[in-house]
Every structure is written in C-alpha cells, then in structure tokens.
Structure 1
Amino acid sequence: MTSPFSRLLIGFAAALTLLQPAAAMAGDLRYVIDRSASRVDAKVPFLGIATKTAHFPDMSGTFNLSFADLEALDMVVDIDARTLTTGDSQAKTLRGKSFFDVANHPTVRFVGRHLKMTGEKTAEVEGNITARGVTRPIKLNVTFSVPPFSTGGTQPISIVGTGVIDRREFGMTAFPWIIGAMVNVTIRARMVPS
C-alpha cells in the first residue's frame, strides 16, 4: 500500500511526463549540420554548351526553428571554400584570386532568417550569402525530408535547397567568355538535433 505522499509524487511525475511534449512545442527546434553527410554544389554554364560544377564537401552550421513564430528562422551555414573540388584541373583556378580567393576569404557563409512554408515539406528561405567579403541576398527553394515541425526536434531532418546567384556581384568577373555569370547553388544538408 502506498502512502498519500507516494501517490502525490507519482501523480506529479505523471503530470510532468504529460507536459513535456507541450514544453518542447513551446520552444525552439535546434539542429546542427552533420558535416559527414552534407555538401554544397555550384553549377555554371561553360562555353555556352556545357556546365561545370564545383563541389564544397566541408560545411558546418546550425538550423533553428521556433513554434512561437513559424516563419522565424535562424540558419547559419559555413562552407570551407578551401576544400573546393571540380574533378579536373580547374579547382586551383577557382580557389585563386580571380574567384573565391580562399587565401583571404576561406569561408562562404549563408545566413537564413525567414521561412515560408509552400507545402507540407517545401518552403522558401530568404537570407544572405557572403563570399569574398561581399554579402548579397538570396532566396532558396527548400525541400525537407519530413515536415520540419512534425519531429519535435527529436530526429534528423535532411534538406535540399536550391538558388541562383550572379558571380559578378561577388567580384568574380574573370573569363566571362568561357564561364557563365549565373551560378546554380544546391545545398544538401543532414541536420541532427542538438
């Protein structure tokens, strides 16, 4: 037979268990990027008849959502431009002064501040991208592996975000007759709860 005090403690513990999901719902969903399963690709027209893709295999960052404001987003992605690869001899040129100038600007940063859901698992993300010390706005079309608010921040989420930038706006004006100006950027990220 349990004492009134023991029954009170059991009841209190049960109440806390019931309240935990509501507490989680009231707060933020916090994630960090899984560096081993994330990358960025940048594709540009080449000679007007083909494309070239630069791969950035090393990225880190955070992704936070809030139940209090469903359109608020705190997303920071840091891309190590020094790790840029192309699969051919052009990687050294792209890392050089005419393009990413990684000796002086080793990091490309994307900061997302606004999320607009366009479907159960799709959204538009507005933010800024900084390369070579220059910051410009960018809009990404994002697809989530699951509805982002459905997990309660307890399971990984993968995203694919696509957007377009003009390389000339970042001072990358070299070889305009060979390399196109508009760059298609794709961010693939796996995010794990933090």
Structure 2
Amino acid sequence: MTVPHPARLRLFALPLLAALTLANGAAAPLRFTLDSGASHVAARVPFLGLGSKTARFPRMQGAVTIVPGAPDQAVIDVTFDAAAIEAPDSITLARLRGEKFFWVEKYPTIRFSGRSLKLASPTRGTVSGALTARGVTRPATLDVTFAADPAAQPDRPVSFIGTTTIDRRQFGMKAYQLVVGNKVTITLKARMVPR
C-alpha cells in the first residue's frame, strides 16, 4: 500500500478548503473609515418641559466593519471629541463642558463601540454595543439606517444615520433635573468610506 506524500496531501487539501469556503458563502469583511468632515453627533434633551436644546459634536473618528452574510460579526467603533462640543449659547456650553455634565477636561472623548448588527432589511438594523461617557460605560443600542446596502456597493462611500436614547443620570449627569430632562436622544450622522 502506497502512502501519499504529505506535500501532495496539502496540494489537494488547499483547493478543497477553498471550494468549501465558497460553497458556504463566506465573504471577506468590508472595512470602512468614517469621513470626519462629513460626520457629526447631535444630543437633544428636553428643556423646561416645553422645548429642547441640542448640543453638537462636530469632530469624530471611527471605523466600520461589515461581514456580508454574518451581520452579527459587524463592528462599529466611533470616538468623538467631547471637548469640541457646540451648544446654542455660551452659558449652556460652559455648563456642558463643566464637571456636572461632560467634564471635558477630565474626559475629553466619548465612545460608542458596537459589536453586533441585527438587520431588519439590507439598509436598516440595530447595533448592540456600549457607550462610554464621563468615564462610565453602559450598554447601548443604536438604530441604524443606511442610505444604500453597503454589501451591494463595497467600493463606494455610504452614509448612515444612527439613533439611541440614554438616561443622562446613568452617566453621572444629575444636575438641573427640574429644568433639563433626563432622556437624551443621540443622533449620529456619518459617511463611511471604503478602506
């Protein structure tokens, strides 16, 4: 009986593994970088029970990885510059930058880290992850809507909008509860560019 040489076995095994990979529909991850010049975050909070105030974070960086056929392996990692926060007026800006709110001198960044994407359609889904602000990390869910299916045009930029609502008290921001609401609606508008 003749025993095949190990090198010959490898030659036969490699094409077989490649064929099995294709048969299983596996695809290479699609990697994107956020276009910081075309992306920003807004945080809206009820004010005096009658209206709302919105702060804006214009500076951010981040990356998105999507695995076609395996959305649960998606990664969305966004860090924005808390120190660059913008507000409707100077008094609000000073308070938001201060110790009772974002305390940007001590905590200069805010981060959302998503580790799983559940798709309702090719352009809509939910990202489960965590939000870190003011040194506190809490679970967060981001509802996302893509302008187009990223997997259908992996070589083109794609814009998306993500929204979530948090309770500011869970992040140590408990000041002015009689005039400022506790629920904060966060909206991320971003443009991701293929790497």
Q: TM-score range by the shorter chain?
A: 0.7 to 0.9
| 1:127 paired residue number | 129
The correspondence of residues 12-23 of structure 1 with structure 2, limited to 5 A, is: none
Which whole-Å CA distance do the structure 1 matches of 2:70 and 2:121 have between them? Answer: 17
| 2:95 paired residue number | 93
Judge conservation of contact 1:44–1:182 (CA < 8 Å) in 2.
Answer: yes
Letter in 2 for 1:61: G
Q: How many residues align?
A: 170
Unaligned runs of at least 5 residues, structure 2: 1-21
Q: Report the Cα offset of residue 136 of structure 1.
A: 0.4
The correspondence of residues 57-136 of structure 1 with structure 2, limited to 5 A, is: 57-67=58-68, 69-89=70-90, 90-136=92-138
Letter in 2 for 1:140: L
Q: Report the Cα offset of residue 120 of structure 1.
A: 2.8
| 2:5 paired residue number | none
Letter in 1 for 2:96: L
The correspondence of residues 109-188 of structure 1 with structure 2, limited to 5 A, is: 109-151=111-153, 153-188=154-189
Determine whether 1:33 maps to 2:34.
Answer: yes
Which whole-Å CA distance do the structure 2 matches of 1:26 and 1:140 have between them? Answer: 25
Percent sequence identity is 44
Letter in 2 for 1:100: F
1:26 aligned counterpart, secondary structure: coil
Judge conservation of contact 1:55–1:86 (CA < 8 Å) in 2.
Answer: yes
Which whole-Å CA distance do the structure 2 matches of 1:68 and 1:164 have between them? Answer: 28
Structure 2 length as normaliser, TM-score? 0.84
- Deviations, residues 109-142 of structure 1 (Å, cap 9, x unaligned): 0001110111231111111000011000111111
- Deviations, residues 47-106 of structure 1 (Å, cap 9, x unaligned): 011100000000100000113623211111001000101121211110110000000000
Which whole-Å CA distance do the structure 1 matches of 2:192 and 2:78 have between them? Answer: 11
Structure 1 length as normaliser, TM-score? 0.85
Letter in 1 for 2:102: F
Which whole-Å CA distance do the structure 1 matches of 2:178 and 2:128 have between them? Answer: 31
| 1:50 paired residue number | 51
2:74 aligned counterpart, secondary structure: strand
Which whole-Å CA distance do the structure 1 matches of 2:109 and 2:71 have between them? Answer: 29
- Deviations, residues 9-33 of structure 1 (Å, cap 9, x unaligned): xxxxxxxxxxxxx8xx721100000
1:79 aligned counterpart, secondary structure: strand
Mean Cα deviation higher: 92-101 or 62-71: 62-71
